[in-house]
A and B are shown apart, each in its own frame.
Chain A
Amino acid sequence: MNPDKEATGTPTAAATGKPLYKRILVPTDGSDVSAVAEHAAIEFARAHGSEIVTLSVAQSYPAYAAAEASMAVDPNLDNDALRAWAERNVQRVSAAAAAAGVACTPLTVFSHSPSDAILDGARDHGCDLIFMGSHGRRGLSRLLAGSETQKVLAEAEVPVMVFRPRAGGG
């Protein structure tokens, strides 16, 4: 049961002395592809002695400001639901990390722009690697469907590990 004993055959942090990456940012939105990235990040962190910072962005839409109908909506109600959703996302990652013996810091933020929140999160928390899923519509070649992913890739100061949706559940 001791993961250190089982981790033979690959140089681990213990074997090489220092982790390759100290702190991995793992943005999560609760999607399937996000789960792929979360799982890989936890495995990677466990094998290589990294810690995880997981971030879920409660995306507050600026639509309220413009929509006349917004008068009929209680923005606090909506924000509470968003916050709860983001909390659930990061708590799930934290629980999985804890089960693997990986240190994990959960963060939730409100932002209009998930990519900005991710870039800020990486910078503010000293992350040296980002693991994230990219939503994509298969066969649609014009653009990465995830424009947020594109923006993170273009502007991140650290390497970004991008996971794609699994093909056929494999």
Chain B
Amino acid sequence: MDPPLYRPLFRRILVPTDGSAASERAILAGVAFARALGADIVGLTATPGFRVLSTDPEMIEDTADQYAAASRERGRRLLATIEQAAGEAGVACRLEQTVSNEPWEAIVETAKRLGCDLIVMASHGRRGLSGLLLGSETQKVLVHGTIPVLVHR
């Protein structure tokens, strides 16, 4: 059987971020990978929905509207890191911000919706010091997703 014309394995790479140092490293790795492969990237951040009772200092704002505006702004800051890295590398980039209390769900859903064929993420995120072998969001993306995941430490 003749080999078909070379079809790139990965054309659109999803790069989620939660703002942690580990995900910042994964962003740089993902952008470098995309650049070498000629792929484009989708930057994603999921901000939690508003809850009246919260211990999250990001939710100290007292109304849902204020919270929504503040979390949109925070999301924009996180995505700006991806946009800048992609821009410097000359990699085409699309940015997505979703409201979700389950980041892994947002990651799997966005990958499917936008036709991503690879996810690049860190093995641990913000809540990475809980003693788990592997960050819980990363683990859930691996369990529930079907596309390959390039995991960076």
Chain A interfacial positions (CB closer than 8 Å to B): 1, 3, 6-11, 16, 20, 40, 43-44, 47-48, 100, 134, 136, 140-141, 143-144, 149-151, 153-154, 156-157, 159-167
Residues of B within 8 A of A165 (CB): 146
The one of B3, B138, B145, B153 that contacts A157, using a Cβ cutoff of 8 Å: B153
Q: Contact: A1 with B148, CB < 8 Å? A: no
Of all chain A residues, the one with the shortest Cβ separation from B140 is: A141
Q: Contact: B6 with A10, CB < 8 Å? A: yes
The 4 closest A-B pairs by CB, nearest first: A154-B133, A20-B36, A7-B6, A10-B38
**Can you list 9 A-B pairs with a CB-CB distance of less than 8 A?**
A7-B6, A11-B38, A20-B32, A20-B37, A140-B143, A144-B134, A153-B134, A159-B153, A164-B142
The one of A10, A100, A153, A162 that contacts B37, using a Cβ cutoff of 8 Å: A10
A163 and B148 in contact, given A3-B3, A144-B134, A151-B133 (Cβ under 8 angstroms): yes
B92 in contact (CB, < 8 A): no
Q: Contact: B6 with A3, CB < 8 Å? A: yes
Shortest beta-carbon distance, B7 to chain A, in Å? 9
Given A9-B38, A153-B134, output 17 extra A-B contacts at Cβ < 8 Å: A1-B2, A3-B6, A44-B9, A47-B6, A47-B8, A48-B36, A134-B142, A144-B139, A151-B133, A157-B153, A159-B152, A159-B153, A161-B148, A161-B149, A162-B142, A162-B150, A164-B148
B114 in contact (CB, < 8 A): no
Number of B residues contacting the other chain (C-beta, 8 Å)?
A: 30
Q: Contact: B6 with A159, CB < 8 Å? A: no
Residues of A within 8 A of B37 (CB): 10-11, 20, 48
Residues of A within 8 A of B146 (CB): 164-167
Within 8 A of A (CB), among B124-153: 133-134, 138-140, 142-153
Residues of A within 8 A of B147 (CB): 164
Residues of A within 8 A of B123 (CB): 153-154
A141 and B33 alpha carbons, distance in the complex (Å): 29
